[in-house]
Amino acid sequence: MADSAAIRSLPGRANRAEAAAPLARRAQPSKSQPGRSLRLPTGKLLPWLLPTLVIVGWQAAASLGLVSTRFMPAPLDVAAAGWRLAQTGELWENLWVSFARAASGFLIGGGIGLFFGLANGLSNLSEKLTDTTLQMVRNVPHLSLIPLVILWFGIDEGAKLFLVALGVFFPIYANTLHGIRSVDPQLIEMGRVYGMNRRELFWRVVLPGALPSIFVGIRYALGIMWLTLIVAETISANSGLGYMAMQAREFMLVDVVVLAILIYAALGKLADSLTRALERTCLAWNPAYRNT
């Protein structure tokens, strides 16, 4: 089982290119955040203008025979493929499997990252003990561990969880640590002078002060979470969206491949929107997060 997966996981150049395409798509939205001050009165509809135009143009090009549907299916074909797979239940099953992997990997890696970030931010001893080690491990690209991880875990859930957790760990660790370090020392002194004990100081001053930075870490981590999962599922899996796309490629079902890529994009956007909503609730005090 593990052997056949390992064989399949040595794809040709074309496969790598396909695997890389959704990665590029994911990387963009999470990095283009700071431009939010540019707002026009048309408000909520405006951001969707460009995607709509692209889809309409794409459909027109396909219908007029300008692009070969063998390599780039029309949007309506992709929608039809989606409908077909939804009917058979295949789509939901793979979607659920991928979501569960992403979420559990994120919770495990993010939880550990948060723990070490807090511990090293609050305790010099803990930082001296672990930070150098963590920084060294950080410089290993986690995706380069895929061959090793396949040897260890085969293509089981463990492999995906491990990779996602590892990828998610560092942004959350580094940003939590930075957030705690950059809490205004004057506020901490004020808390002490006004009689807060260590627990109160943490919950009322340190943690809220570190929260904006922790959220930055969460956003980066969400990007890395999808990226890692897609690569892992594309290379070695027997379920999930990435597996669905790879299967479809073998049968030349281009519409399903494109469908999978679009679903990745939609899931990434959804995760980003959820984080934003959470930021708006948790960071309402910060003028930078109001009215976004």
Binding site for another protein (CB under 8 A): 186-187, 189-191, 193-196, 200, 204-205, 208-209, 211, 283-287
Closest contact distance (angstroms) between CB of 70 and another protein is 56
Nearer to another protein, 83 or 203 (CB): 203
Closest contact distance (angstroms) between CB of 176 and another protein is 17
Nearer to another protein, 21 or 196 (CB): 196
Q: How many residues does the chain have?
A: 292
Q: Is residue 227 within 8 Å of residue 249, measured between CB atoms?
A: no
Neighbours of 240 (CB within 10 A): 27
Nearer to another protein, 183 or 232 (CB): 183
Nearer to another protein, 13 or 199 (CB): 199
Closest contact distance (angstroms) between CB of 289 and another protein is 11
Closest contact distance (angstroms) between CB of 121 and another protein is 17
Nearer to another protein, 193 or 252 (CB): 193
* Nearest Cα residue to 240 out of 22, 90, 135: 90
* CB-based burial, 246-277: b 16+ in 10 Å, e otherwise: bbbbeeebbbbbbbbbbbbbebbeebbeebbe
Determine whether 239 is exposed, middle or buried from the number of CB atoms within 10 Å of its CB (0-12, 13-18, 19+). middle
Closest contact distance (angstroms) between CB of 197 and another protein is 8
